[in-house]
Structure 1
Amino acid sequence: MVNERGGPNWQAVLDATAQFQLRRADLLAADAEDRADVRVFRDPGLNESLMEDSRRWTSLLSVRTSATVAELRETLPNNRAIMAAGLSMISLFDWDGTTPAARALLRAEADPSYRFTHAPMQMKIIDDAEVLLQGPYLPSGRTVLAVRSPEILQAATKYWSAVLRTSWPAAEDADVFSHDAQLTAEMFTERQLYIARLLGEGMTDQWIADALGVSIRTVRYEIRRLLDRAGAGTRFEAGVKLARLVPPR
């Protein structure tokens, strides 16, 4: 990991964040939902609505302050599809707010569009004209505002530029899980190594049981043995730690 908080570019990030937050606060104080230059996405169905809207975008500059494996399994396939259709994208993820397993998924994408950074505020700039930012929480759930205000766009662009300068490619990030040099293939059965590979790919217990032709109880027993022997805290971590031991198929 590089570009730690407190580095030479960090003050610029803080200054840009403060200005951006002030612009956002002014917007919310003025009843943003009633403005002609604001679109509102609401829960339930907020993520689905945003993914549907993304199909019309031509460029995306994104800053995410958090990410989990569950979230990325939903968004990464959508990102691949819209980039294949012509979208130009750079997506910055806050390193601390992204879980270790999610960092592993981003690193595995080996796509220069994904970068790690240190970012206090989440937002997206769409087609250099519209800013997506977090709106107020309502009784029904979250809201996201799509804003075409010049003041918001200017503040978002300055914030984006400052955060980008602190970023580094996700594909070049240090290993998120340390590999224990004492772990060898001989410590595991062929079945266990195969299960480890499937765990690293996010497969469910039932999927693995069907693939092996064994009971789900047997699979869960093997997974418990894997976790103990690999010294892993989670199923995904076991899969990643043992990936180097699994022969190519």
Structure 2
Amino acid sequence: MTTGAHEHGAEELCQAGLDLYPRALHEGRVTQLEAEPVPCLIDFGLLQPDIEDMRWLHPVAPAVALPRLLRNTADAITQQRQREARLAEAFEPLMRIDGPHAATAETPTISVLSGLQRINSVITQTMASAHEELLTIQPHNGRNAASVRESLERDQALLDRGARIRTLYQHTLRHSPAVVARYELLKGDIAVRTLDEVTERLIIIDRAVAFIPANKDRTLALEVRNPALITFFVITFERLWRLAMPMYPEAAQQPTLNGITPRQRAIASLLVEGHTDASIADRLGMNVRTARVHIAKLAATLGSESRAQLGYLIGQSGILDQEHQGAREQLRER
């Protein structure tokens, strides 16, 4: 599929797009195959994937799509006004179509974003208008250099407007050179904490918009503007934040109890739950070999000679009870 014929702005919708979009509004959906000749409809957010059946695309109501497209224009004031006029003119006949399956402008929406480029573009646009706060949970740090530069620029711009940034990572990233260097480059109100385990990626902007992945490889994302869901995400973040250990700007030392490190206690907890080495490694953000090294050290500390005996000794040692007591004391100190 080529996109050369679709190098146009949203105010100049191609004829193929103008033919397919009204039909999608009337019928409530169109197939991915039908939309292949008009990728502009997806690029401009007029069609979005069905998260439950990726063969279908659903139309976004013109009343919802139009303001979003207008927000995307960040050019000079004169160009902005000209573009708004052309865009409103292009949408005028579409606004009269009453699509039975399209969300209304008054309904808080959950939008599906398809493709890493569009996901990053929408996040960048949303952050450009933010002024208060960015809350993020980052389970991994596998981004490429280009995306790192882009995120640094938008984070610094947000900090320059007086906002604050709070981020959660896993303990395995506490000493990652890339992560540490990132926060040394940023200037402003920043705090970073870590946990043994975190949720999937979460971005909350000004407690008004959230972004979460919608598939395993993160090529789909949900843009959430529903107030109830945003409140739920914020509460979840704040509870994890209270349990987490400070990493930046001042790092707290992870306590060792009776020769057992915090990472080994986390592994012990997962072992007694019956998790495999691979599952433990995945949940704690490390490779299987590293997980097995920690398990071997834990076994040596407790004097275990077999995996079955290790589980018994973990229970008898009381190290998991010590972990819970330490967590309670940590919470009381904050």
Q: Report the TM-score when normalising by structure 2.
A: 0.37
**Higher RCO, 1 or 2 (CA under 8 Å, sep at least 6)?**
1
Structure number with larger C-alpha Rg: 2
Q: Report the TM-score when normalising by structure 1.
A: 0.48
